[in-house]
Structure 1
Amino acid sequence: MPPHVGDIGFLGICDRDISAVKATRQAAMPGSKRTHNYADAIWLGGVLNGAPVQFVEFADNQIRVISPWKVEISAPEGIVNASKSFTVNSPKIALNGDAAVSQGLNVTGQSELSGGAQIGGIDFGNHVHSGVKSGGSTTQGPQ
């Protein structure tokens, strides 16, 4: 990442042109007779900076993204593969788009549906039960 105002680091300016090394990522002879130029500098940042508040941690057996601000991932497609489990912890979760569940779904707590629902191909909001008599009778399954 490029240095920002307030960053503390080390700027090493090579004594020869390193453009060929940058281009090929291999050992190379100097690309010109240029010497001690900012174009041939290497920035080693964060040498004496304070503790970061936003970072990616590559720890033993895990990768953590830590940020006090919004984290956004943008891509034409995305996949998360977790062989054991996948957990989302948030007081409010919004899914903006059609959702497909190919396995079981367990819901604990109050649920609300708007716009209608079908269960087993039967419209849940508008189905009727025939042969119902008032009183202590109970209905048969939906039709």
Structure 2
Amino acid sequence: MKEILTYINEVPIGRDFVQNPPYNPLLKIFLKEKRKAKILGEVIFWKKVRAKSFYAIDFDRQRIIGNYIVDFYVKTLGLVIEIDGASHDENQISDGARQEYLESLGLLVFRINDFDVRNNLDLVMKELEEFIIVHYGTTPSSKI
């Protein structure tokens, strides 16, 4: 039975995480730069989810997994959240390989569009709720 992490719309959400995903310490020097870039969609999303303000779920920003720096990571769910801006339009092949790699580790990837984050955050958060319920929701009988 999965341990219950939280409830979203009365649906129990079970923990489901990947133990110790690969970590490339050489990428650490890029983290500070990436955070200083202050990409608007990422900043808006971060303000909405930081400090366990989204259903008491702990989000990490700019997390190194393997040879990638992901936008957001929820360790307790094994969930990567990527905010796709204009640069992702040119990098669809690279994004596909990145997602394939992350999924090969047992992680799930939720992609959202930067434009949607900046212009319709409520809808984005509703879609994230639904994604988490579909992929991590458990039946009430599996409560611990």
TM range (shorter): under 0.3
Larger relative contact order (CA 8 Å, sep ≥ 6): 2
TM-score, scaled relative to structure 2: 0.17
Answer 1 or 2: which has greater helix percent: 2
Answer 1 or 2: which has greater strand percent: 2
- Give the structure with higher Rg (CA): 1
TM-score, scaled relative to structure 1: 0.17
